[in-house]
Structures are given as C-alpha cells and as structure tokens.
C-alpha cells in the first residue's frame, strides 16, 4: 500500500479522499531526528511550515529509495531543500493558489486594525479603560498601497485595496508585465517614499539580507504603515521597532516572524504592532483548497 505522511496535518476531506483511493495516510508530527527514521517508510511526505525537510532527512529517505514526492501545503517551499531533493529524483511541489485569498484578506485586516486601532482598543477596553479620544483613526480610502512583489497574494491584496478606494503601486524584480495592469510599477526606493501602506509579498533570495533594512525603512514616508504576511526575515525588526518608537512609522501588521514561535519581547508588547501567529492560510476555505491541490498532486504522480 502507498503511504502518505502528513507531518503537519491535513484537511480531513483530503485524508478521506486519499484513503478511498487506497492510500494509507498517517497524520503525525515528528522532530527532525525521528522524522529521519520515519520518512524511510513513506512514498509521499506532506508538510506545512512547521516541518523542515533538509538534506539529512532527504538522505534518510534515499536509503530506502521509497519517497517519490514532497508536497508543501502552502505557497513557499523555503522549508524544503528543493534542488537537493529533485537532484536525487524526488519531486517537490506546493499549492500556490490555495491560500492567496486568505492571506490577502489578512493583510487588509491588519491595515484596518492599525488604521482604526482595533487590536489595541480591544486590549485596553478589557483592562477597563475607555480611551475614545486616543483612538482617532484614518480611512484607507484615498491612501496609497505599495506592494513589494506582485505574485498571486499581492494581486489578490491589490484587488481588495482597489475596491476600498486605495491607489495601488508595486515593485518587483522582473519588471512590468501587461497582466499587472492597472497598477503602476516603481523602483523600491520610490515606492517606499510614495506609499502610506507598504505590504511585503516577496521572500527575497535565500540567505539574502532583509529587503527592508534600516536604510530602506528610513526611506518610508513619515507616518506610513508596514504590513508583512510574506517572510519574517525580510524586515530588520530592530530598526522597524526603532522607527515605531520614534514616530517615523505609524504601525506594523505582521503574521510571519524570523523565528517561530515569536519570542521577541519588544515586538510582542509594542502598542503599534498588530500581530497574528502565522495564520495567513488558516481559513476553512483555504484548507479545503490546499487539501484538494495536495490530492491532485498525489493522484497525478501515482496515476490514481
């Protein structure tokens, strides 16, 4: 029987479908050393963001030559040594379409949270405070949203921002393409200077320094807001918190962190930070779509 290890869990409808197709599905998280032993006995490994599939784990799988497919249930594959796996005949794929809407909606949610003090007002009211005068907000309508990256999630974010009356601009590495209309492309430095809100949607080259370094953050428009649902290591967190403390930036909406779970006390307790625990793709709808894409990949590879 073909065996599937869902190391970070799997949507129950997908599990049911795979079992009906004759697969054995095991839903179990393993620490790296244990995973090195377990992976030898599976044909498919499905992960989310918690499990890292590095060279030693791939080497362990190669000892039995059973593992044929690694699937990342999500957009990025930076927690998998993709080139190494493929070099040794193991196919690697992801589910890039499934969670785009969910992540985009969360990015917009963080914009609203900061613009209208939703997070901090919720907290202070539960402490018995009524700080109505302190929470005079601003509208999103008429503001400029700068997107760093213009992939699927950024494009979904752009659609929603446009519907709210925001002006959308973007920057990317590949240059302007017709499918990115009607948004205008700028170089990064120009975008930072023009945008009231900046939303990060690019992972950057592996091992590269943060895209938003202290120098780049200093170029942002005074009073601007940064939203990060992309990658935690693409922002210099210390410099960002300095900018918030000094009033150069108004707020930071964040769902991803350089280290997870986040233990940065300064970030965790900052009143100008709206934060969520990496839940961008954690919606019922996204999980159903991820499950469907995972099943489709498995059926394709194993001709089911």
- Which residue among the candidates 72, 231, 270, 289 is catalytic per the annotation? 231
Residue 54 among the catalytic residues: no
Residue 231 among the catalytic residues: yes
Distance between CA atoms of residues 74 and 98, nearest Å: 7
- Which residue among the candidates 55, 260, 266, 285 is catalytic per the annotation? 260
- Which residue among the candidates 72, 110, 250, 278 is catalytic per the annotation? 278
Residue 260 among the catalytic residues: yes
Active site residues: 231, 260, 278
């Amino acid at each position: 029987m073909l065996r599937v290890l869902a190391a970070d869990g799997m949507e129950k409808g997908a599990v049911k479908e795979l079992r009906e197709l004759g697969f054995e599905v095991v839903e179990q998280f393993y620490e790296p050393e244990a995973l090195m032993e377990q992976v030898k006995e599976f044909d498919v490994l499905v992960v989310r963001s918690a499990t890292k599939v590095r060279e030693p784990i791939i080497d362990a799988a190669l000892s039995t030559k059973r593992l044929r497919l690694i699937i990342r249930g999500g957009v990025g594959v930076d927690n998998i040594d993709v080139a190494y796996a493929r070099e040794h005949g193991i196919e690697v794929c992801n589910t890039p379409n499934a969670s785009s809407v969910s992540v985009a909606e969360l990015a917009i949610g963080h914009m609203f949270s900061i613009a209208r003090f939703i997070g901090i007002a919720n907290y202070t009211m539960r402490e018995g405070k009524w700080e109505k005068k302190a929470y005079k907000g601003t509208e999103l309508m008429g503001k400029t949203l700068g997107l760093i990256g213009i992939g699927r999630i950024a494009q979904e974010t752009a659609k929603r921002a446009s519907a709210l009356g925001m002006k959308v601009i973007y920057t990317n590495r590949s240059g302007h393409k017709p499918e990115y209309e009607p948004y205008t492309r700028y170089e990064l430095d120009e975008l930072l200077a023009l945008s009231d809100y900046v939303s990060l949607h690019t992972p950057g080259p592996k091992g590269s320094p943060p895209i938003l370094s202290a120098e780049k953050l200093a170029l942002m428009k005074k009073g601007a807001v940064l939203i990060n649902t992309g990658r935690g290591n693409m922002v210099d967190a210390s410099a960002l918190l300095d900018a918030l403390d000094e009033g150069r930036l108004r707020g930071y909406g964040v769902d991803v962190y350089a280290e997870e779970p986040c233990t940065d006390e300064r970030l965790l307790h900052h009143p100008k930070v709206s934060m969520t625990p990496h839940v961008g793709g954690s919606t019922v709808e996204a999980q159903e779509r991820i499950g469907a894409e995972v099943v489709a990949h498995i059926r394709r590879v194993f001709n089911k």
